[in-house]
């Protein structure tokens, strides 16, 4: 049975329409990102994970959000340029969304359920089956052994 996460409409950072269903069968690391946050250097770690594991089936997906102290004020174009020029981001980036509050995007409502997103760079690991396999706090670095072992376990499943 297809995952309900795969049916939720999202927009890529260039404005084109998409769903996470475009990545069905892959392992996803879904992250709400921000350009002006103390955790912004995690872009380096996210890109390193993506480059290391993309050929094994991992896709990192970034969702810019301005929910925390206005730390993502830019337009989609400005965010994309910042990510590419400053951090060499090559993983898929999506249009800016809200990840908490009354205007929370349906994707984050589905990912977090009744829980709130605590800050920028919260990470959701989605298995090949389209279900949330793990959730990591914003302070957990992308190269943390807990993240790496969880994603390797998901990649090993067929």
What residues contact 111, with CB distance under 8 A and at least 6 apart? 5, 30, 124, 132
**Could you say which of 18, 37, 39, 155 is catalytic?**
37
β 123-126/58-64 pair status: unpaired
Under DSSP, the state recorded for 14 is: T
Q: What is the dihedral of CA 50, 52, 132, 69, to 10 degrees?
A: -40
**Catalytic annotation on 83?**
no
Tokens of 136: 């990591």
- Quote the tokens at residue 142: 């992308």
* DSSP H or E run through 135: strand 132-136
Residues marked active site are found at 37
């Amino acid at each position: 049975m297809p995952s309900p996460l795969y049916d939720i409409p999202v927009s890529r950072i260039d404005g084109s329409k998409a769903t996470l269903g475009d990545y069905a069968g892959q392992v996803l690391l879904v992250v709400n990102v921000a350009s002006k946050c103390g955790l912004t250097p995690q872009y380096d770690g996210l890109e390193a994970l993506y480059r290391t594991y993309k050929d094994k089936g991992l896709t990192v997906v970034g969702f810019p959000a301005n929910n925390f102290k206005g730390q993502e004020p830019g337009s989609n174009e400005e965010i994309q340029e910042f990510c590419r020029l400053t951090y060499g981001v090559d993983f898929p980036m999506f249009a800016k969304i809200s990840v908490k509050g009354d205007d929370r995007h349906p994707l984050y409502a589905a990912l977090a359920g009744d829980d709130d997103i605590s800050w920028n760079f919260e990470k959701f690991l989605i298995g090949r089956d389209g279900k949330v396999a793990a959730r990591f706090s914003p302070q957990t670095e992308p190269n943390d052994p807990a993240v790496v072992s969880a994603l390797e376990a998901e990649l090993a499943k067929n």
